[in-house]
Amino acid sequence: MTDQKAYWDAAYTTKGDNVSWYQSGPSRSLEMICAAATLHDVGIIDIGAGASRLADELLIRKFSDLTLLDVSEVALATTRSRLGEASGKITWIAADITEWKPSRKYEIWHDRAVFHFLTNSTVQDAYIEALKLATEPGATIILSTFALKGPEKCSGLPVQRYSAETLAARLGPDFAMYAKSVEQHPTPFGTTQEFIYAGFKRR
């Protein structure tokens, strides 16, 4: 965990919100989570939550069982401080997803721009193992990565790019894709990055 933690802590310490993946409103993620959530108390986990405003928006919409996981404690502290008192409603986990052992199940697993950093099959398998341990059949998995035409690097690190279909193939037969879309993400630097979003149901 040390290398990843140091890298990402430094990124958040030096850049704050001035990062390519910044979104003032995570609208596509929110739309997909709200469409999948049958009740306000469903367990939702955001993997590699960073300093995303997704948690703020989910709290506004009265979701009551939110967990944010990130390898960077600086990122989590940023979100915690922004949320103030409301941060007490959230479960915080500082962990590397490829080493994390979940202790409960979640109905909704969300990940924007984290899985694509895992560029070898060993760490991808470890992520998928955590995903399987943290979900049960019927759970919703919402993943967003750089598209095949997206950038080759994110935050200076190489990424594995996907189409919805290649992502589905990598996750394997335990996950049935029910939704897919492409998003042109406008970065704070005036450029555009192509992302894919895919929704899966755990079989």
Residues that bind ligand SAM in the complex, under the rule CB under 6 A: 4, 8, 21, 48-50, 52, 70-72, 75, 96-98, 112-114, 117, 154-155
**What sign does the dihedral 55-116-179-38 (CA atoms) show?**
negative
DSSP state of 187: P
Cβ atoms of residues 159 and 153 within 8 Å: yes
* 50 vs 59: CA distance, rounded Å: 16
Distance from CA of residue 118 to its chain's centroid?
13
* 162 vs 180: CA distance, rounded Å: 12
Burial label for 9, CB within 10 Å (0-12, 13-18, 19+), is middle
CB of 64 to ligand SAM, least distance (A): 21
CB of 138 to ligand SAM, least distance (A): 24
CB of 176 to ligand SAM, least distance (A): 24
Question: In terms of CB distance, is 49 or 168 closer to ligand SAM?
Answer: 49
Question: In terms of CB distance, is 161 or 176 closer to ligand SAM?
Answer: 161
Question: In terms of CB distance, is 42 or 144 closer to ligand SAM?
Answer: 144
Question: In terms of CB distance, is 38 or 158 closer to ligand SAM?
Answer: 158
CB of 42 to ligand SAM, least distance (A): 19
